Amino acid sequence: MESTKEIELQKTANKLTDDIQSMTNYKNLYNEIQRLVASRAVRKEDFKNTLVDALKSNGLETELRNTVFHWARTQGPLQREPEPLMPMLEADLSYLKRAQIQWERRIQKSLNSMCNELNVPLARIRFNMDKDELAEKWDELSTYDIDLSQYRPLYAPKDFLEVLFMVRDPSFKKQPGEPNWEFSHIQIRVKTLSQLRAMYPELSHGVPLLGVNPHMTAMGNYLNLEAERTALGERVLASNHAPIAQEFLKRGAPRAIRGKLWSLVLGSIVKDNDEEYYEELKSLVLQYDIMVDKLIIKDVQLTASNDDQYFVFEDVLYKTMLCFSRDSEVLAPVTTDRSAGGQVIHAVLQGKPATLENTLVFPPSGVIPFHGFTMYATPFCYLYDNPCTMYYTFRAFYLRYWFRLHTVSSHEQGIVALCLLFERLLQCHEPQLWAHFRNIHIQPIKVVFKWLMRGFSGHLPPEQLLYLWDLILGYDSLEIVALLAVTILSFRKENLMQVNTLHNIEAVLADLSSLKVMPLLQLVLLKE
Amino acid sequence: MANSVADNKRAVTNNLSTIYGRVPTIGTDKMRVTFCTDMDKSVIVYNFEKRGWTQVGPEDDWNFYWAVTQSCRTIFSVETGYRMSDNQTINHFPNHYELTRKDLLVKNIKRYRKDLEREGSLLAERGDGPGKYLHLDFIPVTFVLPADYNMFVEEYRKSPQSTWIMKPCGKSQGAGIFLINKLSKLKRWSREARNPFNPNLTKESYVISRYIDNPLLIGGKKFDLRLYVLITSFRPLKAYLFKLGFCRFCTVKYDTSIQELDNMYVHLTNVSVQKHGDEYNSLHGGKMSVQNLRLYLESTRGKSVTEKLFANISWCIVHSLKAVAPVMANDRHCFECYGYDIIIDNKLKPWLIEVNASPSLTSTTVNDRILKYKLIDNIISVVVPPDGVPDVRWNKCPSPEAMGNFELLLDEELAAQDERDNPTGKFRNQSNKWK
Ligand SMILES: Nc1ncnc2c1ncn2[C@@H]1O[C@H](COP(=O)(O)OP(=O)(O)O)[C@@H](O)[C@H]1O
Ligand SMILES: [Mg+2]
């Protein structure tokens, strides 16, 4: 017993040491520690103890701990599975994987046919003139004038939803009379409301949260809750411990320190080598002209540029999204995740012989944008003035959560699971609404799908959205997004019951500007 | 007189309710409320009709007149001899121009500073340099042309590299505005404008202000704030700030180079200017809410500097109002909602640019329409007493619910009362934080 445990531990330690060496901030850490070893704080006679003390006293120990924390997060599932009530045979979900592979092929096909139609290559070396113009306008890409009238987004959330509707468990027999759109036959385990209550104790126990009432009285000598949370948050930041910061976010972040807290939790604090890497991404954008660039620019134009909450950030969003497309560090996590189909396009640079050095992964990040993709990045514009800082936190957030929202995945944090969770919660807790939707032949998921797929970005006012994303980070889970969708329907139930066309239902749900996320979620998790 | 019919009706309903022993509740009072407007704006009419009010012409008995300034002038002019009854209210003060004409605003603020200084008020404390005030320095240095030409030249010579902005006193929406960076340009302009410095000829007068050349930029673009301030009385001063103000962005990146000096899309934030630009987007109209500005500033700059900025904005609004309060004809029938233009510079200091008596009620976007609808709705609910009928005898203290999106900036009456109740000043409430 004991020895197997030890062997396990040893294995993990070995893996950890291996993996750390390939992490981006390894060099930094290594140099820092070397410097420390050479300093007078560490003595040869008592090497180990003095080194450990020195690591502790100059904060490197915390850095190491955070590194392990971030490493551990990339290893395990986002959260421990809820214990099944009955031992259930692990369902065979390989059909989801097959559906995803098909979906990826479809996207690639339409990408190719768009290229053919428009007579543009997937990739080429950027022409010098274009390169100069792009370089010159890098900080003001809204004035980079190219004709995009022929470009269309490859797909929109509703197209993706159609794909999800087609997913069938081959072993599932449809009961007569059952609508053929429900996700309920897909055997991904999702939580019940009472399991959610257990998972979100801060919300379900009614502890004071930010975003409910900032003037709420506080403990101790603080003027109000916000002052109390700010003072505590400052201490959390000073400790520099990522897990503590994560814990802190469960009750909502004060605006002024949210950006720092998020970077700490996600391990996306910018170091020197990160800045260099960001510059490299820029130079890759300048060097290669890839077709996805047009889709990216088009998407920013169709979304953020037209949005009164985000238009002022248009220019920084162009940069961010273009750099992201060149980021090959994104490729591995998104294509090897179990939610991925793993289909990677290789494009040969136009006019070059098809050799290895003329071939690139297309796009280098492996992520092909769709309509609204930019919305994953927009909220970060409110948090960070520096484009580089913004970039890394956006990227970390995407790699932790968002990329599974546009793949057919069996992951508990993927879009299929969220749809299923939404459906179950609605059916169990709003049976009347559920029946109403059934009677008027409208799939409830249809009206909330874009909320889920975008994590509500662009649908909630930024302030409320940031609170929601605090909770995602704090509890390290997207389930709150599905719960919020149900809660909104429940909140607008009376109005929904009075309408019976898709158009009118969408009208009832179009304006979410008056919603307060924290009180709503607290309310739904509180009542028993 | 004007409203005798309505008054009689009111008496009748009151009598009926006493006869039948019913206590009249809000809204069941059947008095017909009438409104009149000569502005062709659906947000206005819609808001009145929603309250069940009836539209009448300016010659009829109206209770609530939403008038253009010209009609107001006619009503208040001596020749017209119109006398308003207790149940009438109108949306402008007779001499609002003391606040809203660019030259008079400056004149009043200069006088206000001098008065305070003479009283030895701490508010009038001097800053570094001649003519500088520590706390009351919230408008850019400004002169009226042609009258103050010599003073302007003297100021100009102190820092010949600065840029100035010329604005005709009687115009709005960015019309007739231009920037100058050389005295020669002003001279050339004066030659071309035929004899403007001959005071005997009634020529259009201008203000010339130091150009705030270091505005706070977001996304590289200049913007200003459009804030709505509702005044229900000048003496005592009762002022409310609408929380749903917005930022108006330029469509072209800010650029101080000389080549761009004449590019109004770079320098003027008026929507009426920007909407003619190629880059104008009619979905958002270049408008971002002040609430989102605040979120952005608190997140990127910190809480205390942001709070200080917004406190300073309120400060400059309150003192601009105090500056004109003594000269305002404080007619009890009047209220007014002013559109404040404020620029924030890159040190997060707010500058008062001008005050508009008739801020635009045109809706450029969907959100804009919602905002303006709420604005009118909230104005009516603040200025009309709880029983829903305009009445000058009401004490003009709206309930918190009636204030909607307005927040109290200052109520001197409440503040004085507060002072009497709490002479130690320990538990002072909102109403006198500006004392
Ligand atoms: N002193 C100044 N410094 C910088 N910008 C100014 C200044 N004065 C005016 N502006 C810009 O010009 C615009 C129009 O000026 P304003 O005084 O409001 O005149 P108008 O009545 O035409 O709107 C303002 O909204 C602001 O963007
Ligand atoms: Mg103006």
- What's B195's domain CATH number? 3.30.1490.20
pLDDT above 50 (res B22)? no
Q: What is the pLDDT of residues B380-407, one digit of tens each?
A: 999 999 999 999 999 999 999 999 999 9
Tokens representing residue B240 in the block: 């409310």
Q: What is the pLDDT of residues A47-95, one digit of tens each?
A: 999 999 999 998 899 988 998 898 888 876 555 555 544 445 566 788 8
Of B262, B353, B354, the residue with max ligand 1 atoms within 8 A of its CB, to mutate for a pocket test, comes to B353
Which runs of E-coded beta strand occur in B199-331? Answer: 206-210, 217-218, 221-234, 237-242, 246-249, 287-289
Query: How far apart (Å, rounded) are the C-alpha atoms in residues B377 and B361?
Result: 13
Q: Are residues B246 and B352 in the same domain?
A: yes
**Given an 8 Å threshold on Cβ–Cβ distance, is B219 in contact with A314?**
yes
* Residue A330 phi, psi dihedral angles, 5° rounding: -80, -30
Closest by alpha carbon to A164, among A364, A453, A469, A471?
A453
Whole-complex ipTM: 0.92
Please report the pLDDT score of residue A369 as a whole number.
Answer: 96
From chain A, pick out residues whose CB is under 8 angstroms from the CB of B298.
Answer: 255-256
CA distance, residue A365 to nearest chain B CA (Å): 26
Residues spanned by the domain of A391: 120-127+290-399
Q: Are residues B164 and B293 in the same domain?
A: no
* Distance from the Cα of residue B98 to its chain's centroid: 12
Q: What is the pLDDT of residues A238-251, one digit of tens each?
A: 999 999 999 999 99
Query: How far apart (Å, rounded) are the C-alpha atoms in residues B296 and B65?
Result: 39
Mark out chain B residues that contact chain A at CB-CB < 8 A. 218-221, 249, 253, 279, 281, 283-289, 291-292, 295-296, 298-300, 302-303, 365, 367
Give the residue carrying structure tokens 């060099």.
Answer: A27
pLDDT above 70 (res A201)? yes
Please report the pLDDT score of residue B81 as a whole number.
Answer: 80
Kind and range of the H or E element at A171?
none
| Residue A9 within any structural domain of the chain | yes
User: Mean pLDDT, chain B, as a whole number?
Assistant: 88
Listed residues A14, A44, A75: the one ending a domain:
A75
pLDDT above 90 (res B252)? yes
Q: Which residues surround ligand 2, an ion (CB under 5 A)?
A: B 341
Please report the pLDDT score of residue A183 as a whole number.
Answer: 82
Predicted confidence band of residue B359 (pLDDT cuts 50, 70, 90): very high
| Residue B400 within any structural domain of the chain | no
From chain B, pick out residues whose CB is under 8 angstroms from the CB of A139.
Answer: 220
Q: Are residues B102 and B49 in the same domain?
A: no
Burial environment of residue B301 by CB neighbours within 10 A (0 to 12, 13 to 18, 19 or more): middle
Averaged pLDDT, B409-419: 92
**B354 close to ligand 1 (CB < 6 Angstrom):** yes
Ligand 2 centroid to Cα of residue B174, in Å, is 7
pLDDT above 90 (res A4)? no
Q: What is the pLDDT of residues B156-202, one digit of tens each?
A: 999 889 999 999 998 899 999 999 999 888 888 777 765 555 544 44
| Interchain CB contact of A380 with B (< 8 Å) | no
Predicted confidence band of residue A180 (pLDDT cuts 50, 70, 90): low
**Given an 8 Å threshold on Cβ–Cβ distance, is B288 in contact with A311?**
yes
| Residue A41 within any structural domain of the chain | yes
Please report the pLDDT score of residue A528 as a whole number.
Answer: 64
Averaged pLDDT, A512-519: 95
Kind and range of the H or E element at A125?
strand A123-125
Please report the pLDDT score of residue B1 as a whole number.
Answer: 40
Atom number, ligand 1, closest to the C-alpha of residue B174: 22
Torsion of CA A456, A462, A464, A467, to 10 degrees: 90
Query: How far apart (Å, rounded) are the C-alpha atoms in residues B257 and B279?
Result: 20
Q: Are residues B321 and B423 in the same domain?
A: yes
Listed residues A370, A399, A428: the one ending a domain:
A399
**B165 close to ligand 1 (CB < 6 Angstrom):** yes
Among partner residues A256, A311, A461, which is closest to B298 by beta-carbon distance? A256
| Residue A37 within any structural domain of the chain | yes
**Given an 8 Å threshold on Cβ–Cβ distance, is B220 in contact with A140?**
yes
Ligand 1 centroid to Cα of residue B196, in Å, is 22
| Residue B385 within any structural domain of the chain | no
In chain A, what percentage of residues exceed pLDDT 90? 70
Query: How far apart (Å, rounded) are the C-alpha atoms in residues B334 and B234?
Result: 10
Chains A and B form CB pairs within 8 A to the count of 67
| Residue A27 within any structural domain of the chain | yes
Predicted confidence band of residue B435 (pLDDT cuts 50, 70, 90): very low
**B269 close to ligand 1 (CB < 6 Angstrom):** yes
Q: Are residues B53 and B148 in the same domain?
A: no
pLDDT above 50 (res B16)? no
Q: What is the pLDDT of residues B296-344, one digit of tens each?
A: 999 999 999 999 999 999 999 999 999 999 999 999 999 999 999 999 9
Least confident of A75-89, A192-206, A446-460: A75-89
Q: Are residues B182 and B291 in the same domain?
A: no
Count the residues in chain A.
528
| Residue B384 within any structural domain of the chain | no
**Given an 8 Å threshold on Cβ–Cβ distance, is A316 in contact with B219?**
yes
| Residue B389 within any structural domain of the chain | no
Which residues neighbour A362 within 8 Å (Cβ) at sequence distance 6 or greater? A122, A123, A290, A292, A345, A346, A347
| Count of structural domains within chain A | 2
Q: What is the pLDDT of residues B34-92, one digit of tens each?
A: 999 998 889 999 999 999 999 999 999 999 999 999 999 999 988 888 889 999 999 99
Q: Are residues B152 and B15 in the same domain?
A: no
Predicted confidence band of residue A175 (pLDDT cuts 50, 70, 90): low
Listed residues A361, A379, A399: the one ending a domain:
A399
Q: Are residues B417 and B341 in the same domain?
A: yes
Predicted confidence band of residue A308 (pLDDT cuts 50, 70, 90): very high
Residues spanned by the domain of B256: 98-138+215-356+405-432
Q: Are residues B161 and B301 in the same domain?
A: no
Residue of B nearest to A145 (CA): B279
Please report the pLDDT score of residue A390 as a whole number.
Answer: 98
Ligand 1 centroid to Cα of residue A278, in Å, is 39
Q: Considering only CA atoms, which residue is closest to atom 4 of ligand 1? A: B212
Averaged pLDDT, A90-118: 90
**B224 close to ligand 1 (CB < 6 Angstrom):** yes
From chain B, pick out residues whose CB is under 8 angstroms from the CB of A255.
Answer: 295, 298-299, 303
| Count of structural domains within chain B | 3
Alpha-helical (H) ranges within A137-207 are 157-166, 193-199, 201-204
Q: Considering only CA atoms, which residue is closest to atom 14 of ligand 1? A: B174
Q: What is the pLDDT of residues B107-125, one digit of tens each?
A: 999 999 999 999 988 888 8
Averaged pLDDT, A394-400: 97
Listed residues B211, B241, B257: the one ending a domain:
B211
| Interchain CB contact of A383 with B (< 8 Å) | yes
Averaged pLDDT, B258-270: 94
| Residue B337 within any structural domain of the chain | yes
| Residue A36 within any structural domain of the chain | yes
User: Mean pLDDT, chain A, as a whole number?
Assistant: 91
In chain B, what percentage of residues exceed pLDDT 70? 88
Best to test chain A binding among B249, B283, B295, B374 (most A CBs inside 10 Å): B295
Please report the pLDDT score of residue B25 as a whole number.
Answer: 43
Kind and range of the H or E element at B342?
strand B336-344
Please report the pLDDT score of residue B21 as a whole number.
Answer: 36
Which residues neighbour A435 within 8 Å (Cβ) at sequence distance 6 or greater? none
pLDDT above 50 (res B15)? no
| Residue A97 within any structural domain of the chain | no
Q: Are residues B132 and B242 in the same domain?
A: yes
CA distance, residue B302 to nearest chain A CA (Å): 5
